[in-house]
Amino acid sequence: MIYLATFHWGWLLGSLLLGFAMGWIAVVQRGQGVSKVTSRWLAVLAAALVAAALAHVIPGRPGYWLDLGLVMFALYLAGCTVGSWLRAWVVSGHAPAA
């Protein structure tokens, strides 16, 4: 993991900043989301990928790509979370008093 952070810090920072930007500009959607069945399948898929990465089931270059992709995806999601939270905090601070 240190190797990924040392040699791919630019890509990792880019995914974090891209996530922050997407979280900042994303409009809150009040539409219908994914179904519970789909969200459960996506959660199982994510857990299986993390388990495969932790157990080193996929050897060589594909395993390296899996590790890098999972770290980049986690940083992207963290950036989205921080960006949307910060935007909500800034917008709620400037809301007119009713």
How far apart (Å, rounded) are the C-alpha atoms in residues 79 and 8? Answer: 17
Domain ranges of the chain: 8-25+34-93
The pLDDT of residue 40: 95
Mean pLDDT value of segment 2-7: 81
How far apart (Å, rounded) are the C-alpha atoms in residues 71 and 1? Answer: 9
pTM, 2 dp: 0.81
The pLDDT of residue 80: 92
Question: pLDDT by residue (tens digit) across 16-72?
Answer: 999 999 999 887 666 677 889 999 999 999 999 999 999 999 999 999 999 999 999
Mean pLDDT value of segment 7-12: 91
Cα-based distances in Å from 98 to 66, 87, 93, 95: 50, 21, 13, 9
Run of H or E residues at 27: none
Q: Given pLDDT bands bounded at 50, 70 and 90, which one contains residue 3?
A: confident
The pLDDT of residue 26: 84
